[in-house]
Structure 1
Amino acid sequence: MICSKIYGQYFMVCQPVEIEKHQGKNFFLEGKIFYNDEIKNNSWVVLSALFLDEKGTGIKNTIYNDDAGAYYKQGEWSSYQLNGKIDKKAKYIAVGITVAGSGSYHVDDFKLFIQDGKNKIEIPLRNAGFEDISLAPWQSQNIDKDTKLSLTNDKYFSGKKSLFVDNSNVNTTSTIGNNKKAGKFMDVNGVKLYYEVYGQGEPLLLIHGNNASMASFDRQIDALSKKYMVIGLDSRGQGRSTSDNKKLTYELMADDVNTFLDKMNLKNVNILGWSDGGNIAVILGMEHPDKVKKMAIMGTVLYNNETSVFPDINKILNEQVKEMKKNGVSENDMNYRLKILLLTEPNINPDSLKKIKAPTLVMAGEHDVMPEKHTKLIADKIPNSKILIFKGTDHEAPSKISEKFNKAVLDFFE
């Protein structure tokens, strides 16, 4: 059997299980995970599942937990859950974990269930509690030579053993958002903001989305840095930037950007903001028009209600917050705070957009998280703006149609 190749600094530990007779039914995967190191944006472990055809080749992409932090309990065993629908062409499902970064973890007690009508049937997994003398039948894929997998009795959820995943000796390669040569920290408003600079020319600042980092723009930086001095910035409490206990608002983060640009001795900067980054850019353009030369914003909202965000999105967010509360996640946890930010902010009066002086490209996907009417409202209220809706795609347009997206941004900034 072949588990999916997880590219980059990810690897998978999985076990294939035959599920051909359950095609089209819902599955539920459970597992216990203990973080020996604090969870980070670039270092985590989640449950994952991949559907395989009769040859053991992956069908579509691997399914992961949307949010590693939603189940995370610091210093305790965390109960992770993953569910989905079995592909109608799948003969097998490879279930297990996907690991990223340089942390170490214990995992234990995997369980797989199928919803068969009103009945929830458990599908037996072999060595599900790692009590055997070997790791078989668990397989690893794309594992680093310095990653250690071992059965251990020093920590376990039940029985007498668990699987120990040790990534602490892995030398992660330099990537966008984790480039020691290009990266620096700057003290800004009581926190340390991390940034990286690529290329030469007019400054172009990239501001990423919620609970992400500048790495979100990995498909933009090469193209943009050929013509501009591209500055990738991690917002406070995200990526490699630190946080404090101040209430998170987009106004606070826009003030961070303003102070950052002051310390960089930069004005009249081109800005590309995606999602939360667009919200931040809009506020910066309103409050500090001298800082912005041109502005391209993708997937931006002015407020959160039924006219600006589709109800299904808020339903998912509320369920994630509920799950975090159930798991005892602290309200000071950054992941929790960022979800509350999405649910309660921003609060921008559309008429205040007239304060923006910079030419603005307002972008969204045809199937974005907000109705197209809201995107048009933003474009209508910004005096010197134009709108671009990417057909056939969604909120992830910068990643999914990067060539088309990059061309639109470059054409606008020229």
Structure 2
Amino acid sequence: MKTTKITCLIFLLGILLPLAAQKQTKYVDCGDASIYYEVLGEGKPVVILHGGLGNVNGYASLADSLKSAYKVIAVSLRGHNRSTLGNRPYSFDLFAQDIIAILDNEKENKASIIGFSDGGVTAYCLAALYPQRIDRIISLAGCFRYSDYKPEGVNWIKTVTGKQRLGKDASLSDIARMDSLITCMRPLWQTKIYISQEKAAEIKAPTLIIGGDKDFFFSTECFKNAYRTIPNSRLIILPNTGHNLNQPEVIHKFIIPFLKEKSRLLN
């Protein structure tokens, strides 16, 4: 009988331990919107923020690369994917508030942030507005203001549609929802200043700025300006690289080593 109980216990542990390692899907109530996020792994928290009109699925490879050493919190920004649109005008400060609500919900006092494009802008805002809550940030192709966009980027902002984004085979309901999101995002993108030079200069968290020299939306001067403005920052410009920085080389050569570094001045 004793042997049978031990065997059953081992069997149950064999089921429960893998389940515990699987991702958890969660929501947090932010008043006017419900924000969806996923949690994987254990350890120091690292928040992953996708770009505009994207979703958490696009950064699954990054989350998988980090989950063995960190508690990964992958967020769908408001209006994106399973997060609801809400009824407040969109701003990067509002996105930052949503992330703080998630950290509170997870009972995490401090986290590192990895943000791509709009997520990178949100990372800057988080570090500036909530310095006590942010350990370090990695901004992938993030900018400070609308004027940082190249003319072709401005044209994309003004003309992009749900059908263009999702493709002709997407359902009418999915296209309609994407169009609603674009309606919310377009005024945000066209806001003159996302984060002021003065606020950015107050960022104390160690900051890694990564951009591609062939980015469709931004020139390298955008990334260089962020580097010159943020005191404790490091800049990497990747040659022959476009806007999409979700690449294994970037993850393993730059992102993971930066997260592992002990806190210190980077310059």
TM-score (norm 2): 0.78
- The percent identity for this pair of structures is 27
- Any idea what the Cα deviations from partners look like across 1:128-165, whole Å, max 9, x if unmatched? xxxxxxxxxxxxxxxxxxxxxxxxxxxxxxxxxxxxxx
Query: Higher RCO, 1 or 2 (CA under 8 Å, sep at least 6)?
Result: 2
Amino acid at match of 1:402: P
CA distance in 1 between counterparts of 2:23 and 2:69 reads 20
How many aligned residue pairs are there?
226
Q: What residue in structure 1 maps to residue 96 of structure 2?
A: 254
Q: Kindly indicate whether residue 221 of structure 2 is the aligned counterpart of residue 379 of structure 1.
A: no
Evaluate the alpha carbon distance shift between residue 390 and residue 353 of structure 1 in structure 2; reply closer, same or farther with a 3 A threshold. same
TM-superposed CA distance for 1:337, in Å, is 1.7
Q: Kindly indicate whether residue 254 of structure 2 is the aligned counterpart of residue 408 of structure 1.
A: yes
Q: What residue in structure 2 maps to residue 309 of structure 1?
A: 149
Q: Kindly indicate whether residue 66 of structure 2 is the aligned counterpart of residue 224 of structure 1.
A: yes
Amino acid at match of 2:206: P
CA distance in 2 between counterparts of 1:387 and 1:285 reads 17
Query: Which aligned pairs between 1:55-74 and structure 2 lie closer than 5 A?
Result: none
Amino acid at match of 1:216: G
TM-superposed CA distance for 1:205, in Å, is 0.5
CA distance in 1 between counterparts of 2:250 and 2:77 reads 26
Amino acid at match of 2:224: K
- Any idea what the Cα deviations from partners look like across 1:75-112, whole Å, max 9, x if unmatched? xxxxxxxxxxxxxxxxxxxxxxxxxxxxxxxxxxxxxx
Larger radius of gyration: 1
> Is the 8 Å Cα contact of residues 310 and 370 (structure 1) preserved in structure 2?
yes
TM-superposed CA distance for 1:346, in Å, is 4.5
The structure whose residues are more often strand, as a share, is 1
TM-superposed CA distance for 1:201, in Å, is 1.1
CA distance in 2 between counterparts of 1:302 and 1:183 reads 31
Q: What residue in structure 2 maps to residue 270 of structure 1?
A: 112
Q: What residue in structure 2 maps to residue 389 of structure 1?
A: 237
**Structure 2: which 5+ runs fail to align?**
1-21, 165-175, 261-267
Query: Which aligned pairs between 1:273-292 and structure 2 lie closer than 5 A?
Result: 273-292=115-134
Q: What residue in structure 1 maps to residue 172 of structure 2?
A: none
> Is the 8 Å Cα contact of residues 153 and 218 (structure 2) preserved in structure 1?
no
TM-superposed CA distance for 1:217, in Å, is 0.6
TM-superposed CA distance for 1:203, in Å, is 0.5
Q: What residue in structure 1 maps to residue 6 of structure 2?
A: none
TM-superposed CA distance for 1:269, in Å, is 0.6
SS in 2 for 1:352: helix
Amino acid at match of 1:243: L
TM-score (norm 1): 0.52
SS in 2 for 1:229: strand
SS in 2 for 1:300: coil
Amino acid at match of 1:364: G
Evaluate the alpha carbon distance shift between residue 350 and residue 181 of structure 1 in structure 2; reply closer, same or farther with a 3 A threshold. closer
Evaluate the alpha carbon distance shift between residue 404 and residue 249 of structure 1 in structure 2; reply closer, same or farther with a 3 A threshold. closer
Amino acid at match of 2:236: L
CA distance in 2 between counterparts of 1:281 and 1:267 reads 16
Q: State the superposition RMSD in angstroms.
A: 2.2
Q: Kindly indicate whether residue 200 of structure 2 is the aligned counterpart of residue 353 of structure 1.
A: yes
CA distance in 2 between counterparts of 1:216 and 1:287 reads 27
Evaluate the alpha carbon distance shift between residue 181 and residue 204 of structure 1 in structure 2; reply closer, same or farther with a 3 A threshold. closer
